[in-house]
Amino acid sequence: MAKPTTVAEYLASLPKDRRDAVNALRKVIKANLDKGFKEGMQYGAIGYFVPHSLYPSGYHCDASQPLPFAGIASQKNHISLHLFCIYTSADEKERFVDAWKATDNKLDMGASCVRIKKIENVPLDVVGKTIKRIKLKKFIATYEAAWVKKKPAAKKTASKKMTTKKKATKKKKVVARKKT
């Protein structure tokens, strides 16, 4: 069977219980998503991202991909809620973790991926508030500050080549270090 290329195809490929859980997450995310973000397929799952029309540079790991914000994927043993939006900000991640834990629901989370066994144990209001709090412009600025590599300064070239005497001195120092 071919991999789904649309959100509708992806949802149709899921068993009913998974589809219901994914739709519950989608509903909360879509209701709280700032203008400009789009929903579509990304990395074989449902993704929420900044389209190239608003951020032409795309994702630094793969510029052909739009800048990811969040995602939902049905895995073998769980549903994963990918929150790249909190991965780029330690403050947002801390707020999310604290808010989740305050609900007395167990949080099974990696760097930014929440593993969900039962949708009933997910404080959807916490997910919604997190998504709503992170506006498009703020997300792009935080992402750029955290991940976009700054253009390196031009290196100065040595005006004189190393003399044979300096090369010999360096070799002696290296040999001396190895002996100690």
Q: Which residue has the higher pLDDT, 177 or 97?
A: 97
Report, in angstroms and rounded to the nearest whole number, the Rg of the chain calculated over CA atoms: 24
> Residue ranges of the domains in the chain?
7-149
pLDDT for position 150? 52
Mean pLDDT for 24-48 is: 97
pLDDT for position 153? 45
Mean pLDDT for 51-66 is: 93
Residue 175 in this model has a pLDDT that exceeds 90: no
The string of DSSP codes covering 92-153 is HHHHHHHHHHTTT----BSSSEEEES-GGGS-HHHHHHHHHHS-HHHHHHHHHHHHSPPPPP
Among the CATH numbers 3.30.980.10, 3.30.70.141, 2.70.240.10, 3.90.1150.200, which is that of 7-149? Answer: 3.90.1150.200
pLDDT for position 127? 98
Residue 32 in this model has a pLDDT that exceeds 80: yes
Residue 74 in this model has a pLDDT that exceeds 60: yes
| Average of per-residue pLDDT values in the chain | 87
Q: What is the pLDDT of residues 111-158, one digit of tens each?
A: 989 999 999 999 999 999 999 999 999 999 999 998 776 544 444 444
Count of C-beta atoms within a 10 Å radius of residue 69:
28
